[in-house]
Amino acid sequence: MYLALSPQHPIHQTTQYTSQIMKRRLKLITAPSIESMCRRTLFSASLLGDNCRTAKALKFDGSPTRPLTSSDVSNSANGPKLRVAYQGVPGAHSEAAARKAYPNCDAVPCEFFETAFDAVETKKVDCAVLPIENSLGGSIHRNYDLLLRHNLHIVGEVQHAVHHCLLALPGVNFGDIKRVLSHPQALAQCEHTLTKLLTNKGMVREAVDDTAGAAQFIFVNNIRDAAAIASTRAAELYGMNILAPDIQDDQDNITRFLMLAREPIMPRIEEPFKTSIVFSLEEGPGVLFKALAVFAMRDINLTKIESRPSKKRPLRICNDGNGVQSKYFDYLFYVDFMASMAEPNSRNALNHLKEFATFLRVLGSYPIDVNQA
C-alpha cells in the first residue's frame, strides 16, 4: 500500500546537518504575433552551448557556498555565470537533465515547478530545465499550465533516460527494510520489482515529493529500516549503498524536459527544429479538424497534441438552436509540430490558424534533441 505523508511528517520539515559528505547547508529556492517572434534576436549563444560552470551553491568541498533563499526570487540576479534551475534536490533526475542540457552549469535546486519559472522571470537564474512528459507516466500537466501562465520561451529540449535504484544506508540489508520512500511515480514504476526483491510482510511504500529527497531524508536521519528509490548520483551524494540497480519494471523509461528562457532563440532551417504552440477554438462541428488541417495540407508533421481545460473560462454554454442549452469544457490545445518558424510553411500554417482560432501563442521554436536518451 501507499502511505501519503502529511505536512507534519518529519520528511517535510527542514533539517540542518553537517557530515563528511555535505559540509555546507543547502537551501532550496522557495516560492512566493507570429512574425514578431521570428524577428526577435538570439537570447544568448551560450544558452545552447556548453561553457557554463559548476554551481558554488552545490559544492560539497568546503568552499564558500552561494545558496538562494526565499527572498532571492524577488531580487535581481548578480554575476555573469549561467545558472540553470530545476525542481528537486541534488541527485534528482531533473538535475541530471539540467546538466545534460547545459554541461557543467550552475544547477540550482528549486522546491516547486513554479519556483523555477519565477526564478527565470525574476533573473535569479538564466534558464530552467523542467519535465513536460514521461513515456510511462504521460504529461506533466502542471507544467503545461505554467507555460501559459508565465512569459517564458522554450529554447530547447532534452530526453533523459530514467534509471531507478534501490538505496539504503551502509550495512542495511534487504531483510532490514520495512518501508520504501520515493516519488509516487517512481514507486509505481518499480512496483513489480519491489515485490520480488522485498518480501517483508507489512512493508510500507511512502510517497514523498522527490526521489533524491527520499535518499536525503534517510541519510540525514540515519534511518536503518528504510530504503529509497533514487538515482546513482543520489547514492553518491548521500553516502548510500545501491542494493539493486535498474529496478524499474519497464527499461524504456524516458522523460522529456524543456529548456526555458526569458527570450526565444532565432529559428533556423539548417538543423531539425520543433515548434510548440497553444491555441483555443470556438465550439462547433469539425472545428478541431479544420485547425489540424492547416498543418496536414502543408505536409507538416504533428508530434503531440494535448488538451487542457481553460482556467479562465472552464465551462462554455451553447444553444443548439432548439432552445436547449448545453455545457462544454472550454479547451486549450497544446501542439508540437516538426518544423521551424523560419520556414514559410510554418508561418503560413499559423497565419491560417489565426483566421479562426480565438487564441494563439507560440511557446517556442527550438532544435530537436537527436541525441540518445
Answer yes or no: are the C-beta atoms of 84 and 50 closer than 8 Å: no
65: phi then psi, degrees, rounded to nearest 5: -100, 160
pTM: 0.76
CA of 66: how far to CAs of 18, 61, 212, 356, in Å? 17, 13, 21, 50
pLDDT by residue for the chain (373 residues), tens only, comes to 444 444 444 444 433 333 333 333 334 444 444 444 444 433 333 333 333 332 323 322 333 323 343 334 334 344 457 899 999 999 999 999 999 999 989 999 999 999 999 999 999 999 999 999 999 888 999 999 999 999 999 999 999 999 999 999 999 999 899 999 999 889 999 999 998 888 777 789 999 988 999 999 999 999 999 999 999 999 999 999 999 999 999 888 999 999 999 999 999 988 999 999 999 998 888 999 999 999 999 999 999 999 998 876 656 666 666 666 666 678 899 999 999 999 999 999 999 999 999 999 999 999 999 887 6
Catalytic positions are: 255, 257
CA of 62: how far to CAs of 18, 53, 66, 309, in Å? 11, 17, 12, 49
Q: Which of 68, 46, 71 is nearest to 58 (CA)?
A: 68
Lookup: cell for 161:
533516460
User: 211-221 and 93-101 helices cross at what angle (nearest 10)?
Assistant: 120
Answer yes or no: are the C-beta atoms of 248 and 190 closer than 8 Å: yes
The pLDDT assigned to 35 comes to 46
Q: How far apart are CA 262 and CA 272, in angstroms?
A: 22
The pLDDT assigned to 67 comes to 38
Answer yes or no: are the C-beta atoms of 29 and 110 closer than 8 Å: yes
Lookup: cell for 296:
496536414
Using alpha carbons only, give the angle 64, 65, 69 rounded to the nearest 5 degrees. Answer: 145
Using alpha carbons only, give the angle 319, 322, 323 rounded to the nearest 5 degrees. Answer: 60
The pLDDT assigned to 325 comes to 65
